[in-house]
Structure 1
Amino acid sequence: MGEQPTDSASREDPRKARSRARLLDAATALLVKGGTEAVTIDAVTRAAKVARATLYRHFDSGTELVAAAFCRLIPPASAVPEGLDLRDQLVSLLTRQARLIEEAPMQLTAMCWLGLGPGLGAVDDTPGHPELRSLRRHIAEQYKAPFDRVFASAAGRELLAGVDYELAMSQLLGPIVFTKLATLPPLGPEACARIVDDFLHARAAAS
């Protein structure tokens, strides 16, 4: 007799996987076309041709379904450029983030939805909500992980010695997010370089 599969993925009912995929396909299409308000239980089940009871076997609520759909639309984190000094690494990453926000507005919508959505403020303090937690981690990975790797270097640790890391991230990424929220012209490479240079000069003056 052959060996039985042991990992959870191999034991998963393929029908369950297909129904979840149909629900996410429908929710993602509705989110892109009509925003979060379009992703209702009725609209998703109708588009996916899946019963409401089946949807609730996959997702605790419509909110969890929206979070899962957002996760599908957010691209992976940028790679950390190699062979550059600290300043040029930061300029490269910031320029990529500015382009990412400009080209992928759904990412910014997800951030606003997480921050302002009804009943989402206490997500981190309550059990459950796996899809919301996954979306939070996804966004954090997208924005912070590349900078985490840069600031983990010897030069990065020296630069941030005694500085609140969250504040440093806000100083670098804040202008990019504000520009998008305020519907101002997007920041190009020169503006991103200026943000990094101002940040580095402020750090040098404070040390």
Structure 2
Amino acid sequence: MSSAANSDVDPRLLRSRARLLDAAAALLKSGGLEAITVEAVTRQSGVAKTTLYRHFDNIVDLRAATVELLLPSVIEAPAPGPLRDRLITLLDRQAAAIREASLQVAVLAWLATGAEQDAPALTALRQQLIDRYRVPFDQVIETAEARAVLGDLDVIAAMSQLLGPLIFTELIGIGRVTPADTVRIVDDFLYARTRDRGR
């Protein structure tokens, strides 16, 4: 909402929306997405159901707005340098972000397996999450050096190959991704890409 639009909105509506989102965020952190129900949010926030439905069409919209509120900021791309070093640094940062904010993993799992795949709020949130993850990869992979080494590469496919092991490890709880793991993931990725190109 723009500041002009905000000035036209009843402050009570802004407060009730904030209370609903605060309650939903607390429920999300303590019990996961399934803990966010209309009953639980209205009980915890003290806001009536009718007011909740003025702000959110359904529970999916409320969950999506809550997750959007808690999304981490975009991870900073590594400084210019050799492609391998930049990819390793980027994966180290991603691994740290996943460790520190398990919400990211929960969100990724929900978006990947959610029953409401076609809900507009969920579709928008999924795209926003992809865009946030994509920014630093674009900054590393869309360079002349990267194109020379990797060829014409789909950034989303590269993200899947590089982030997949990090997310999978965290999702199933088989341990922590170490710096040695990120080096191996990057080296395997680069080897496969250069081998496919006959280098």
TM normalised by structure 2 equals: 0.90
Following the alignment from structure 2 to structure 1, what is the Cα–Cα distance between the partners of residues 155 and 76? 20
Hey, what does 1:100 align to over in structure 2? 97
Hey, what does 1:185 align to over in structure 2? 175
In the alignment, is residue 78 of structure 1 matched against residue 40 of structure 2? no
Is the Cα–Cα contact under 8 Å of residues 77 and 141 in structure 1 kept in the other structure?
no
Residue 68 of structure 1: how far off its partner (Å): 1.3
Residue 13 of structure 1: how far off its partner (Å): 2.0
Hey, what does 1:17 align to over in structure 2? 14
Question: 5+ residue gaps in structure 2?
Answer: none
Hey, what does 1:135 align to over in structure 2? 125
Is the Cα–Cα contact under 8 Å of residues 147 and 153 in structure 2 kept in the other structure?
no
Aligned counterpart for 2:156 among listed residues 153, 157, 166? 166
Say if 1:6 and 1:67 are closer, same or farther in 2 by CA, change over 3 A. closer
Hey, what does 1:27 align to over in structure 2? 24
- Which range moved further: 161-170 or 57-66? 161-170
Residue 48 of structure 1: how far off its partner (Å): 1.2
Please tell me the residue identity of whatever aligns with 1:52. Answer: K
Please tell me the residue identity of whatever aligns with 1:197. Answer: D
Aligned counterpart for 1:54 among listed residues 33, 51, 63? 51
Could you list the per-position Cα deviations for residues 56-108 of structure 1 after superposition, in whole angstroms to 9, with x for gaps in the alignment? Answer: 11111011111111122221110112142221111111011111112211111
Please tell me the residue identity of whatever aligns with 2:156. Answer: E
TM normalised by structure 1 equals: 0.86
Say if 1:149 and 1:6 are closer, same or farther in 2 by CA, change over 3 A. closer
Is the Cα–Cα contact under 8 Å of residues 179 and 185 in structure 1 kept in the other structure?
yes
Following the alignment from structure 1 to structure 2, what is the Cα–Cα distance between the partners of residues 76 and 23? 22
Following the alignment from structure 2 to structure 1, what is the Cα–Cα distance between the partners of residues 155 and 103? 26
Hey, what does 1:126 align to over in structure 2? none
1:7 is paired with a residue whose SS is helix
Following the alignment from structure 1 to structure 2, what is the Cα–Cα distance between the partners of residues 167 and 143? 12
Following the alignment from structure 1 to structure 2, what is the Cα–Cα distance between the partners of residues 73 and 136? 14
Hey, what does 2:136 align to over in structure 1? 146
Residue 6 of structure 1: how far off its partner (Å): 8.1
Aligned counterpart for 1:121 among listed residues 114, 117, 121? 117
Following the alignment from structure 1 to structure 2, what is the Cα–Cα distance between the partners of residues 30 and 198? 40
Say if 1:78 and 1:164 are closer, same or farther in 2 by CA, change over 3 A. closer
Could you list the per-position Cα deviations for residues 31-52 of structure 1 after superposition, in whole angstroms to 9, with x for gaps in the alignment? Answer: 1111122211111112111111
- Matched residues, number: 196
Following the alignment from structure 2 to structure 1, what is the Cα–Cα distance between the partners of residues 80 and 193? 23
The runs of at least 4 aligned residues of structure 1 exceeding 6 Å deviation read none
Q: Percent identity, aligned pairs only?
A: 46
Say if 1:87 and 1:65 are closer, same or farther in 2 by CA, change over 3 A. same
- Give the root-mean-square deviation of aligned CA atoms: 1.9
Residue 202 of structure 1: how far off its partner (Å): 1.9
1:15 is paired with a residue whose SS is helix
